Amino acid sequence: MFGPELIEGFREFKSIWDPDWKLNPGKVVDPYPITSNLRLGTDYNPPQVKTHFAFPNDHGSFAHATTRCVGIGKCRHTDSGVMCPSFMVTREEKHTTRGRARTLWEMLNGEELDGFRSDEAKEALDLCLSCKGCTNDCPVSVDMPTLKAEFLSHHYAGRLRPRPAYAFGLIDQAARVASKLPAVANFFTQTPPFDRAFKFAADVHPNRKIPPFAPVTLKAWFASRPSPDGGGGKRVILWADTFTNYLEPEVGIAAIEALEQAGFHVVVPTGHLCCGRPLYDYGMLDLAEAYLRKVLDTLRDDIRTGTPVVGVEPSCVAVFKDELVQLWPNNEDAQRLCKQTHHFSEFMAKHAEGWEPPTLQRKALLHGHCHHQATGGIEPEKELLEQMDVEVEVLDAGCCGMAGGWGYESGHYDVSIACGERKLLPKVREAAAETLVVADGFSCRSQIEQTGTGRRALHAAQVLALAREFGPAGPPGAYPERAAPERPRPGPVRTAARAAAAVGAAAAVAGAAGFTYSRLR
């Protein structure tokens, strides 16, 4: 580029002013060989791992994904952002995204760690909340939740998992059974001393409260009512996730009513469908893939006709926008579903053409779910609330610390609470009683409700419902969340049938207990 005469001139100049060649050597004058100072070396040949995830951004390689981190250290920041919530609490390097990525690299390439059976790697990943903060905040987009899910799938291959993996990973199946007799299920999860026995069995911390099952599921409520528009509006699928369907159907009802007011014809898929969100947190990827195949098979016609899918639970929306295409990047239906899936607030703010949201002149604290921030951001939600004339304060509080079933586990409880107490929970306690607390994530709302704040957060769909019912001034008095529509109740016929079944179930339990006691005497 410069020629031999100029290079020699550079050499003489540098020799005069930098005789020891300390300042940036080996670049232009006497450059280092191209094969020197390599990060991994010319003989780097990592083991190839057969994986569930395709790692499309890392040449299909788990090993390459572990090298994505280059040590910048942004994951050590503690003042703002989402990444990395456990480090913000523990301040230990092994709990940073960088530390975990390095541990996984050493697991593959070193001799000291026992591969995917490594307890050291499992310990480093244990306090990862799978919040996806690193996918958005990390400058080189290290995807630790995907790496953790892949690791756990190999770590527990052919072995039993810890109790919480079955209690929370299979929550959709447990909720499906509990919905048949929710009063009985709630009795054993809400009533002492049975609740303590349940928590012990599931390894749930004693201070946690198990969410009660709703008396009527969202799908049952939806099936019992006629379509208000007769099917004339644009077709939209409301994704009835496990948490909304079985635990908080009132959130789904508020979303359906908002969509219908905006002129859409809402459809809720029937049958048992689940995105499998909790399965990823415990590495149950074979089952997670089976769940997604069923979703694609069931929704295929709608997917191919471009029907939008609207989700109210951010973590479930994130499965369709992230995990789905990480598993099957070349599946066209998977790519279509990814593009056609929307967060509720995003859809209402950007796709409800001609619709004017109702006015609500209130202040609101807005806490964004981590998965929401990683898959589109919460700016559309802020826009929706501001269109309603709500005065919005967006909290830069990072992760709430609940992270699905993670924060319920006994071994994670202290870190979970510390994550919430870092910023979010104090801000909620300081808020005026008339201020709305808005959080779309079921986990976020549960953390706020279970930590002595005295407040209950609302989903954006519920805020719309308050505005429709009470007008611009909103509900009178303090604590507006208390005026939010309650969950639906079963009709008299269903109530009587369930009561009879509950009596029968109780008699069976009592009989079994008596028989067992008589045998043990």
In this predicted structure, the answer to whether residue 137 has a pLDDT above a threshold of 50 is yes
The predicted pLDDT at position 505 comes to 46
Give the whole-angstrom CA distance, residue 240 versus residue 255: 10
Q: If we measure between CA atoms, which residue out of 65, 72, 135 comes closest to residue 377?
A: 135
Give the whole-angstrom CA distance, residue 107 versus residue 146: 16
In this predicted structure, the answer to whether residue 371 has a pLDDT above a threshold of 70 is yes
Within 10 A of 77 (CB to CB), how many other CB atoms are there? 14
Q: Phi and psi at residue 235, in whole multiples of 5°?
A: -70, 130
Contact by Cβ (8 Å): 466, 476: no
Q: If we measure between CA atoms, which residue out of 458, 423, 460, 168 comes closest to residue 310?
A: 460
List Cα–Cα distances, 162 to 174, 401, 511, in angstroms.
17, 20, 31
**If you search the block for the tokens 């005295």, which residue do you land on?**
454
List Cα–Cα distances, 199 to 163, 179, 267, in angstroms.
11, 19, 36
Tell me the pLDDT tens digit for each residue of 228-275. Answer: 766 679 999 999 999 999 999 999 999 999 999 999 999 999 999 999
Give the whole-angstrom CA distance, residue 276 versus residue 112: 34
Taking only Cα atoms into account, the Rg of the chain, rounded to an integer number of angstroms, comes to 27
Give the whole-angstrom CA distance, residue 105 versus residue 332: 32
Tell me the pLDDT tens digit for each residue of 436-488. Answer: 999 999 999 999 999 999 999 999 999 999 999 999 999 999 999 999 999 99
Within 10 A of 414 (CB to CB), how many other CB atoms are there? 11
Residue 190's Cα: distance from chain center in Å? 25
User: Which of the two residues, 79 and 155, has the higher pLDDT score?
Assistant: 155
Q: What is the sign of the dihedral through the CA atoms of 369, 372, 374 and 377?
A: negative
Q: If we measure between CA atoms, which residue out of 68, 42, 63 comes closest to residue 51?
A: 63
Mean pLDDT of the chain: 92
Tell me the pLDDT tens digit for each residue of 164-193. Answer: 999 999 999 999 999 999 999 999 999 999
Contact by Cβ (8 Å): 301, 188: no
In this predicted structure, the answer to whether residue 309 has a pLDDT above a threshold of 50 is yes
Q: Phi and psi at residue 88, in whole multiples of 5°?
A: -60, -25
3-state secondary structure 1-55: CCCHHHHHHHHHHHHHHCCCCCCCCCCCCCCCCCCCCCCCCCCCCCCCCCCCCCC
Tell me the pLDDT tens digit for each residue of 24-62. Answer: 898 888 889 888 888 888 888 888 899 999 999 999 999
List Cα–Cα distances, 272 to 176, 245, 246, 400, 441, in angstroms.
8, 10, 11, 29, 21
Q: What is the DSSP letter of 181?
A: S
Q: Phi and psi at residue 310, in whole multiples of 5°?
A: -110, 125
